[in-house]
Amino acid sequence: MLATLIYRSQPTGAFDPSGLAELVGKAWLQNVQLQVTGILLFDGEHFLQVLEGPLASVNTVFARINHDTRHHNVVELLRDFAPHRRFANHGMLLLDLQKQRPAAVLRAILRFGTLKYQLASNDRVYKFIRHFIASSGHTAGVRHTAPDQWRFVVKTPPFLTGAAPDSADQPCQFAFQPIIEPQREKISSLEALIRGPGGGSPQEYFSTIAPEKLHEADLASKGWALAMARRLGIGNHKVAINLLPMSLVKIPGAVDILLDHITRNHLRPGQIIVEVTEDEVISGYEEFTWAIRQLRAAGIGLAIDDFGSGFAGLSLLAKFQPDKLKIDRTLVTDIHLHGPKQAIVKAIIECCAELQIAVVAEGVEKIEEWCWLEAVGIQRFQGFLFARPMLNGVSPVSWPQRVIK
């Protein structure tokens, strides 16, 4: 199958502009052996390259490109399949925008067509090229700080770092994970994540519950979560708890039960954030709406969890505007390398800014991911990079600090 890949990157100090033509010549020879064809555009600040060929060959060439130290910030923009090559006659053709006028480059590209494939101005790859040329001179990418400008300082938060469960025979336990604002060195909330009596995962724990008891157990477990939060000495900090939406729908008086857990543990409703995901089973939207109104009326916060995964959360967002929206890990992972994820996350941020919804990035594991997300304006983060969940406790937090050189 004929694969197409487009990426964008920036030259590093190791790149010698005068050697560009030679570099492309070498690439041509290597590509021909692998049956890879394509074009390379350079505007002095960014590269845009189109690669076409058998999927395995394109992957091989792209892996090699990724390791080339003469450029960095390599962001994949498009991966697609096509019936014919667009640039069949070119092992690798260089288009230097510093030497040719944009209009001439675009005209030339349209003439590259072969008898088999005549490139048209509505071709998607052509449109990527046109967009690159049009935005040349502006930053095609996000200007983020380099990972080596940061070091991590580990600090223990002012909570208990590990406690015994409340009672030896409690049905479940909770692990707590901080959601932080690195720029302010502030813990914005602690998420309570359910664990089995032996420390097993949420999935493991819920699999031991009879299906008809699932929602009851989910709601009841929040009593244990909040009791532990209190024992950890969370003071005025906020606690986020996860609930299946149907736990608020199916259990009569669910919100009152929750409020009871809150007051019994000497917490305020305003300290609690309920995280819900849009899962398939929200069958009673009317009852769910009613439960959400009660939560809001009591002063409890609401977050949409796992936004952008599976059931995307979009219809939930259209119906309820939560205080917080948590961008799912599937969008966060390797965002610094991936154009489509970047475009989606930028749109989410814009939408949330318009609706005054706070955004949290979940599952941040790499410093590069954090640098990119921070640069587009996200302030709240949760992930192993900063702190892992800790059973019956809160682990120390690794705070990024700018290295002064």
Residues lying near ligand C2E in the complex (CB under 6 A): 177, 193-194, 201-202, 218, 221, 242-244, 275, 305-306, 329, 362-365, 382-384, 389
C-beta neighbour count of 9 within 10 angstroms: 21
* Residues within the interface to Mn ion (CB under 5 A): 242, 275, 305-306, 362
Instruction: Please choose which of Mn ion, ligand C2E, none residue 384 contacts, taking the beta carbon within 5 to 8 angstroms, the exact cut-off set by kind.
Output: ligand C2E
User: Which of ligand C2E, Mn ion, none does residue 228 bind (CB under 5 to 8 Å by kind)?
Assistant: none
Name which of 339 and 363 has its Cβ closer to ligand C2E: 363
Partner touching 43 among ligand C2E, Mn ion, none, CB below 5 to 8 Å by kind: none
**Which of ligand C2E, Mn ion, none has residue 365 at its interface (CB below 5 to 8 Å by kind)?**
ligand C2E
368 binds, among ligand C2E, Mn ion, none (CB under 5 to 8 A by kind): none
Q: Of 116, 114, 134, whose CA–CA distance to 41 is shortest?
A: 134
Closest distance to ligand C2E from the beta carbon of 125 (Å): 34
Q: Least distance from C-beta 218 to ligand C2E, angstroms?
A: 5
Q: Which is nearer to ligand C2E, 58 or 193 (CB)?
A: 193
Encoding tokens for residue 363? 């599952």
> 221 touches which of ligand C2E, Mn ion, none (CB within 5 to 8 A by kind)?
ligand C2E
Q: Which does 374 bind (CB under 5 to 8 A by kind): Mn ion, ligand C2E, none?
A: none
Tell me the two tokens of residue 69: 């130290």
Residue placing its CB nearer to ligand C2E in the complex, 188 or 382: 382
363 binds, among Mn ion, ligand C2E, none (CB under 5 to 8 A by kind): ligand C2E
Q: Among residues 30 and 333, whose Cβ is nearest to ligand C2E?
A: 333
In the bound state with ligand C2E, the residue whose beta carbon lies nearer, of 106 and 192, is 192
Query: Residue 35: is it exposed, middle or buried by C-beta count within 10 angstroms (0-12/13-18/19+)?
Result: middle
Q: How far is the CB of 275 from ligand C2E (least distance, A)?
A: 6
Nearest approach in angstroms of CB 194 to ligand C2E is 4
Pick from ligand C2E, Mn ion, none: which does 364 bind, CB < 5 to 8 A by kind? ligand C2E
Least separation in angstroms between residue 318's CB and Mn ion is: 20
Task: Closer to Mn ion by CB, 96 or 323: give it.
Answer: 323
SS (H, E, C) the chain: CEEEEEEEEEECCCCCHHHHHHHHHHHHHHHHHHCCEEEEEECCCCEEEEEEEEHHHHHHHHHHHHHCCCEEEEEEEEEEECCCCCCCCCCCEEEECCCCCHHHHHHHHHCCCCCCCCCCCCCHHHHHHHHHHHCECECCCCCCCCHHHEEEEEECCCCCCCCCCCCCCCCCEEEEEEEEEHHHCEEEEEEEEEECCCCCCHHHHHHCCCHHHHHHHHHHHHHHHHHHHHHCCCCCCCEEEECCHHHHHHCCCHHHHHHHHHHHCCCCHHHEEEEECCCCCCCCHHHHHHHHHHHHHHCCEEEEEEECCCCCCHHHHHHCCCCEEEECHHHHCCHHHEHHHHHHHHHHHHHHHHHCCEEEECCCCCHHHHHHHHHCCCCEECCCCCCCEEECEECCEEEEEECCC
The distance of closest approach from Cβ of residue 290 to ligand C2E in the complex, given in angstroms and rounded to an integer, is 19
Question: Least separation, in Å, of the C-beta of 395 and ligand C2E?
Answer: 11
> Closest separation between CB of residue 13 and ligand C2E, Å?
32
Whether the CB-CB separation of 116 and 42 falls below 8 Å is answered with no
Nearer to Mn ion, 383 or 400 (CB): 383
Q: Between vectors from CA 399 to CA 395 and to CA 401, what angle results, nearest 5°? A: 165
Q: Please, which residue, 71 or 326, has the CB nearer to Mn ion?
A: 326
Nearest approach in angstroms of CB 349 to ligand C2E is 19
